[in-house]
Amino acid sequence: MSPTGPFTYQALPMRVTMGAGAVAGLADELDRAGLRRVLVLCSPRQEHLGHAIARLVGDRCAGVHPHARTHVPVATAKAARAHARDVGADGCVAIGGGSAVGLGKALALEPGLPVVAVPTTYAGSEMTPVWGLTENGRKRTGRDPRVLPVSVLYDPELTVDLPAHVSATSGINAVAHAAEALYAPDTSPVVALMAEEGVRALHRALPAVVADGSDLDARAGAQYGAWLCGACLGATTMSLHHKLCHALGGTLDLPHADTHTVVLPHVLAHNLPAAPRARAALSRALGGVDDPAAAVWELGRALGAPRSLRALGMKKESVGEIVGAVLAAPYANPREVTADGLTGLLRRAWAGEEPVAAGAVHRPGRG
């Protein structure tokens, strides 16, 4: 037996190009994928980037669809599918963050259009076969290799206008992917290496990105970290953190990356006592700290990220609803999740208190 013990690692069939000016190779990527008529997907806020992509691909652009929304409402997906059908698109280019990539995944799922992704945030969802659709206050997720982009172009020059707040929260969102991959039941030594390196890269890059948005080296480092962290999520099973964030986002329509940023330190405080290898890897990646949960909390504070679910618009009385939604669906997690433990975790996250392990004495933190 190998020193690491038996494990399985499934590589994902994707092509990744990274570097300043990478988007100039978009036409070549479309050629590789055999795409001749693509619909450009983006959010309303990034419509200018959508039109820039349209100009770049020229006659191969079937139109710009600037209607991507957080959590991919089913109605939004249906409208995009109808638009793609009406213009005869044979593929999509998704430019932007998780909303645009998520909408691209919806079109890859049905009617099966290949997607080329051009990420402009650091969430890393473009590297995963995980899709999500929201309807009637519930976010439904699944895994399907068909939703993986056929090609991903990481170009730090496209991120220089990204607000510091979005850089910070999308980066910590990526850290969450790696953290959960470290204690997933189907993790492997390969995933563990990628996760630790991804967190290390983001921990180094994000303060520089927030301090100087024009620092292309820092932005490239953040994209590198996001790529690795996203690939980890794509290769492993999601646990408590992602279940919580999906429930909070789908039920309460809280902003995606902000929610991940607030919740992650609290979930780490709950789970890491039962996951010593994950704790050790995160400790190393975060600079040799003793308490990774506290280090992630402090990273968010230093980056000016939101501190509480209350600040994101959640009402305190919604805690019970979220607890019920999370406990209703079974999932793998390294530590038992009880109603009392989850209630305490959510109340601390709602109030903006410092993260503590379930059952431990805690003290209010800075909001």
pLDDT tens digits, one per residue of 332-361: 999 999 999 999 999 999 999 999 875 443
Tokens 């496209």 identify what position? 158
Phi, psi of 4 (to 5 degrees): -85, -10
Any idea where the domains of the chain sit in the sequence? 15-159, 164-351
Q: With 70 as the cut, is the pLDDT of residue 367 above it?
A: no
> Is 0.85 topped by the overall pTM?
yes
**Mean pLDDT of all residues belonging to the chain:** 93
The DSSP 8-state label assigned to residue 305 in this structure reads -
Q: Has domain 164-351 been given CATH number 2.50.20.10?
A: no
Burial class (CB in 10 A: 0-12, 13-18, 19+), 288: exposed
CATH code of domain 15-159: 3.40.50.1970
Q: 1: helix, coil or strand?
A: coil
The arithmetic mean of pLDDT across residues 122-135, rounded, is 90
Q: Mark 49-79 as b/e (b = at least 16 C-beta within 10 Å).
A: bbebbbebbeebbbbbbbbbbbbbbeebbee
Output the pLDDT for position 4: 62
* Least trusted range by pLDDT, from 89-93, 106-110, 235-239: 235-239
Two domains, one topology: 15-159 and 164-351: no
pLDDT tens digits, one per residue of 37-73: 999 999 999 999 999 999 999 999 999 999 999 889 9
The dihedral sign for the CA sequence 122, 123, 125, 128: positive
